[in-house]
A and B are shown apart, each in its own frame.
Chain A
């Protein structure tokens, strides 16, 4: 019914005009038990995913838990090798040219992922130095970014385990900022945040795009967030792309004559046959 509007006839995958180009991406995981003589269980996390993201775009991936969003981000982050298909970041293949890709990207995941006993300053020094940042400016830059994120000088040297989740997530955003990625991969960056922290993070995302001209891939299951931030949205269901388009066009896809404009949630429900709250079994 809603044939994949994924075929967007973009330019060639290697074109640097595209920030991300994904073609026929497939990833499966095999779970086998060494002790039990049971058949290995194969879980398809991504199945023939094709889309592209233009430079400077905020591109949303919308899907329920278990729909393959994080797997897609991990492939683009060079942390997973796909089984079929290709993924390119600014023309660089994420498998064969991983070291080039790593210089261009950074990621903010749903888990803040820090050395918990280290302070924000210590964690950010480590993360920045891995990207070749050094010298006197670095500490000043870290303080400036954290200050603007609302983290005080006293808090900068406190262990991150004493921070709230919202504050940890802000430090995670600072970590990404400090390496100046031109592609930022955001994997549910606002999940579990209070409304104010959520708004702060969303403002930062928009600012990163407008001031740093970064391209942003935002995985979320927050429909309001997707609609507010994203230029285009891909809906992923059980590892398969169901539709890719602007929020308005996605809603128009499922609009019924005389029924008024549907919400993005209704569009998601119509396109996938399920709500976002459903946790998909592996």
Chain B
């Protein structure tokens, strides 16, 4: 047997190679979504069902029914979006460990920034698609009154929130590198704590005093406050600044920190042989 096609190595510039690699991560995840379509359907049904269940709690109340439904709807939509971003980024190593491909991805001539960027872009696209589907279902069943809403302001808050959750996800992604068997479970715990303290379904003020400082460091708290101010109260962009700047600051701090921490932990994993072991 002979192989008469031995392809030539890419002679493109480094920048172009990194662009190709960014696309590789997006395309790969789309392929995986298509191949695991059954799970995608199951997760989507679960998300829609749990979101509607929460919103019907609002509908069951006697007073402020419309406000409560919208309040809970924003919570469930925003959390669904942010959790998608966090999960995809934080589980990228755990997923590759499970598939057994992590060494080949780490061995490829791709900067870690490109790797993280490719996965982050996919996570935002995926989160937007899921949230759009959820929004459509909610609008169909509840007839949301968005007459007062500042949708541009809400989009701005969501964009800032995306950055901050990308950064937090990058920080969490190191856990499966550090802890080969428990890392993925730890990222799940982080997202659960964020759900509890960030005021997804209730104001942060109802939390016990000792829990409230945690809400102040969670970017989801600011995103939810901003989204509710923009959609429920129609707050202009200037009024959203008190929630925008902490969200942007968290993103500006955690994204570079996430890349640096990831690179440092990757080096540690290569020194201790933790890349090889599958969790």
CB of A134 within 8 A of CB of B5, answer no
CB of B1 within 8 A of CB of A130, answer no
CB of A132 within 8 A of CB of B12, answer yes
Q: Which of B21, B23, B270 has the most CB of A within 10 A?
A: B270
The chain B residue sitting closest to A115, CB to CB, is B99
The one of B2, B35, B109 in contact with A148, judged by C-beta atoms closer than 8 angstroms, is B2
Tell me if A42 is interfacial: C-beta within 8 Å of chain B. Answer: no
Chain B residues whose C-beta falls within 8 Å of the C-beta of A208 in the assembled complex:
6
Give the complex CA separation of A77 and B270 in angstroms: 11
A207-B110 in contact given A79-B270, A81-B270, A132-B16 (Cβ < 8 Å):
no
Interface size for A (C-beta < 8 A) is 53
CB of B20 within 8 A of CB of A134, answer yes
Tell me if B7 is interfacial: C-beta within 8 Å of chain A. Answer: yes
Give the complex CA separation of A133 and B108 in angstroms: 12
Least Cβ–Cβ distance between B270 and chain A, in angstroms: 5
Give the complex CA separation of A129 and B108 in angstroms: 10
Tell me if A280 is interfacial: C-beta within 8 Å of chain B. Answer: no
Least Cβ–Cβ distance between B263 and chain A, in angstroms: 11
CB of B5 within 8 A of CB of A130, answer no
Tell me if B105 is interfacial: C-beta within 8 Å of chain A. Answer: yes
CB of B1 within 8 A of CB of A204, answer yes
Give the complex CA separation of A270 and B127 in angstroms: 62
Interface size for B (C-beta < 8 A) is 42
Least Cβ–Cβ distance between B195 and chain A, in angstroms: 28
Give the complex CA separation of A3 and B117 in angstroms: 52
Tell me if B17 is interfacial: C-beta within 8 Å of chain A. Answer: yes
Tell me if A8 is interfacial: C-beta within 8 Å of chain B. Answer: no
CB of B99 within 8 A of CB of A130, answer no
The one of A105, A125, A159 in contact with B35, judged by C-beta atoms closer than 8 angstroms, is A159
CB of B32 within 8 A of CB of A117, answer yes
Tell me if A200 is interfacial: C-beta within 8 Å of chain B. Answer: yes
Give the complex CA separation of A131 and B110 in angstroms: 8
Interface residues of B in 193-224 (CB under 8 A from A): none
CB of B103 within 8 A of CB of A177, answer no
Interface residues of A in 179-222 (CB under 8 A from B): 179-180, 200, 203-204, 207-208, 211-212
CB of B1 within 8 A of CB of A150, answer yes
Least Cβ–Cβ distance between B266 and chain A, in angstroms: 10
A133-B7 in contact given A103-B109, A117-B32, A126-B28 (Cβ < 8 Å):
yes
The one of A113, A177, A200 in contact with B104, judged by C-beta atoms closer than 8 angstroms, is A113
Least Cβ–Cβ distance between B18 and chain A, in angstroms: 8
CB of B105 within 8 A of CB of A130, answer yes
Chain B residues whose C-beta falls within 8 Å of the C-beta of A133 in the assembled complex:
7, 10, 20
CB of A131 within 8 A of CB of B17, answer yes
Interface residues of A in 100-128 (CB under 8 A from B): 102-103, 105-107, 109, 111, 113-118, 122, 125-127
Interface residues of B in 1-35 (CB under 8 A from A): 1-10, 12, 16-17, 20-21, 23-24, 27-28, 31-32, 35
The one of A30, A80, A148, A149 in contact with B270, judged by C-beta atoms closer than 8 angstroms, is A80
Chain A residues whose C-beta falls within 8 Å of the C-beta of B103 in the assembled complex:
74, 77, 79, 109, 113
4 shortest A-B CB distances, which residue pairs?
A132-B17, A129-B24, A132-B10, A130-B108
* B interface residues, Cβ below 8 angstroms from A: 1-10, 12, 16-17, 20-21, 23-24, 27-28, 31-32, 35-36, 99-101, 103-111, 267, 270-273, 275-276
* A interface residues, Cβ below 8 angstroms from B: 29-30, 74, 77-81, 83, 99, 102-103, 105-107, 109, 111, 113-118, 122, 125-127, 129-134, 137, 141, 144-145, 148-150, 159, 175, 177-180, 200, 203-204, 207-208, 211-212
Q: A83-B271, A130-B24, A208-B6 are in contact. List 9 more A-B contacts (CB 8 A).
A: A79-B275, A79-B276, A99-B111, A115-B31, A115-B99, A118-B35, A125-B27, A132-B17, A145-B5
8 of the cross-chain contacts (CB-CB < 8 Å) are A79-B270, A109-B103, A111-B100, A113-B100, A125-B31, A130-B110, A134-B23, A148-B5
